[in-house]
Amino acid sequence: MREPGKVAVLLGGDSAEREVSLRSGAAVLHALQAQGINAHGFDPARQSLTELVAERFDRAFIVLHGRGGEDGAMQGALQYLNIPYTGSGVLGCALAMDKVRTKQVWQAAGLPVAPSVVVRRGAMAVDAESLLAELGGKVMVKPAQEGSSIGMSSASTAVQLQAALELAHQYDAEALVESWLSGAEYTVAILGDEALPSIRLQTTHEFYDYDAKYQAVDTQYHCPAGLTPFAEQALQHLALSAFRALDGRGWGRIDVMCDSDGNFRLLEANMVPGMTAKSLVPMAARARGMSFEQLVLRILELSEL
């Protein structure tokens, strides 16, 4: 990559993940400045995008999590302004942000996912008992377009399922109801055309929720993940296939869980993963021998229109 010029680190925003984005952005900004990059923080919730042009920014490093930054909207705006940016394009981000469409693409590509049903807000009365029976007796309910486990909850009774749907529908018109996966949970970071070492997540919570991600002190991250070389290679190949199926570019992260038989099942894709001190992509990069500063510079090098 030629000299990056003046770089805007897009952080904050107005999604439900604003606070996480501010922390991620601050870390990225510090790392870029420490390497002599002319980088500046830019919060779209406080500044107009026209300032990117007026202040002559040459490139954007997107660290906006959630809606408005990870769903293709910001990517489309930057393309219109002719400003190169990090990460995936409009299509990849829009697909990955929508868990329902993500699963549909993966299913069409023949990639393994958990059985699921989509329930729209305001739909006719849901037969919760039948839905639970269809999906194995216990389910995970997710808003279609939120990150950081916001609005997610489990259910194993009809009453719990109705409450979980009501919670998910507070965040999105569509709720994804998935069969419960009881096996180990993994995540695989993607950098360029390479899958980094997988990480196995271990939490004392029922699942890897917002608190386990950002607040708990007892969440464990195992990297190496403890897989056999064959299983590690298979997981990395699956993650790359899932990323490419969504038109992923630059960098991202694919989350995976095992079912009760130990088979990998794709969960979701993250096109602008967290970059905080507890985040997973920097952890995987360290296992590959990359410092945080090297990781951030490499992501910037991969930026394009």
Please report, in range form, the residues annotated as the binding site for Mg(2+). Answer: 255, 268, 270
Q: Return the H-helix or E-strand segment holding 94.
A: helix 90-97
Is residue 148 annotated as a catalytic residue, yes or no? yes
* Marked catalytic residue, from 88, 179, 279, 303: 279
* Marked catalytic residue, from 88, 148, 149, 153: 148
Is residue 17 annotated as a catalytic residue, yes or no? yes
Q: How many CA atoms lie less than 13 Å away from 16 in the CB half-sphere?
A: 12
Cβ–Cβ under 8 Å, residues 269 and 210: no
Cα angle: 152, vertex 158, 160; to 5 degrees = 35
DSSP annotation of 223: S
Tell me the Ramachandran region of residue 56: left when phi exceeds 0, alpha when psi lies from -120 to 50, beta otherwise. left
Is residue 279 annotated as a catalytic residue, yes or no? yes
Query: What sign does the CA torsion over 17, 23, 29, 31 have?
Result: negative
Beta-carbon contacts of residue 7 (< 8 Å; ≥ 6 apart):
32, 37, 38, 39, 40, 57, 58, 59, 60, 61, 300
DSSP annotation of 304: B
Q: What are phi and psi of 200, to 5 degrees?
A: -95, 130
Q: How many CA atoms lie less than 13 Å away from 57 in the CB half-sphere?
A: 22
Cβ–Cβ under 8 Å, residues 263 and 186: no
In the annotated binding site, the residues are 255, 268, 270
* Marked catalytic residue, from 17, 70, 146, 185: 17
- Provide the annotated active-site residues: 17, 148, 279
